[in-house]
Amino acid sequence: MRAPKHLLTAGIVLCFPLVSLAGSETGLSMSDTSRTNLEQEFSRLTAGLNRQDKNTPSKKWKTLANLLDRCGDATRQAEIDRITTQPIAVPATKFDDLLTQVLLDRSLRTGDSALLTRLLTLRCPNYVGGYPVEFWLARSEGTHAVLLLATAFSDARTNASPRVLVGALTRAFPGLRREFHVDRDFVAACERWARANPANCALNFGYPYLPSGPVIRPEGDPVFQVGLFVPQDREATRLRGPGVQGTADTNAAEGAAKSVGEPERRR
């Protein structure tokens, strides 16, 4: 079952706090970005940032998000076309990596499913705003995130993006990965799992790949830290199909998440 639309368009709160950079503070205007290469403008606006400042990553994110919001449609589309059509045999530049992440977040905020699918298929990043891409997607999409990643894998035409997509699903479903060693078989098994468990599981806030580690580490419950999803509550016996083992008190996990600053998910 897909998440409600208000969750889809809300995107995800990034793991670093966003610091407000209003257009008047950056000197940014619509005409600026229509005349200037986006990367050059971004470099100019962030040149004075202190690399040692913990807020610098969030300032860079906000600056680029503002640029994309304020530039013309033609400029924005040109950047999308550039990063999704150029060969990616070599690693992306730092700017292109950040641009991809910001565009993915924008696609969720605006409900642009075509752009979301295109970016995941052609230039899927390992992380978005500091979160593993699979966790970032699941925050707003629930188990539908698995279907998005599986579809992107099936449609991918490069050697780089499929590896990232399989890596994301491997982190999410270590049990299934142990069972299915061929990538396509594994991705198909993940897709079957997602279709069989659309609503009877919850996001695992003990996910070991979060930037600061699991939000909560319950004593005597090591399986809580394995896999992207857990059963809804301890009364659930087992999710249909392999891939998720054990149970966890998800309500307690969400409470712990809120206590360390994780935003409460909208219901």
What average pLDDT does range 41-47 have in this prediction?
Answer: 94
Q: What is the pLDDT of residues 71-86, one digit of tens each?
A: 889 999 999 998 888 7
Assess contact for 71 and 34: CB atoms under 8 A: yes
Give Dmax (Cα) for the chain.
60
Residue 15: per-residue pLDDT: 56
Residue 91: pLDDT band with limits 50, 70, 90: low
Residue 126: pLDDT band with limits 50, 70, 90: very high
Output 2 or 187, whichever has higher pLDDT.
Answer: 187
φ and ψ at residue 131, rounded to 5 degrees: -95, 145
What average pLDDT does range 85-111 have in this prediction?
Answer: 85
Residue 233: per-residue pLDDT: 65
Distance CA 119, CA 85 (A): 10
Using the structure block, give the residue that is written with the tokens 């219901």.
267
Q: What is the pLDDT of residues 102-115, one digit of tens each?
A: 999 999 999 999 99
Residue 213: pLDDT band with limits 50, 70, 90: low
User: If you ran DSSP here, which 8-state letter would residue 143 be given?
Assistant: T
pLDDT of 210 over the 70 cut: yes
pLDDT of 11 over the 60 cut: no
Please name which of 178, 179, 230 lies closest in space to residue 207, comparing C-alpha atoms.
230
Assess contact for 153 and 160: CB atoms under 8 A: no
Sequence spans of domains, the chain: 5-44+54-198
What average pLDDT does range 94-98 have in this prediction?
Answer: 92
What average pLDDT does range 226-243 have in this prediction?
Answer: 59
> What percent of the chain is modeled with pLDDT above 70?
66
CA angle 5, 103, 22 (to 5 degrees): 95
Residue 90: per-residue pLDDT: 53
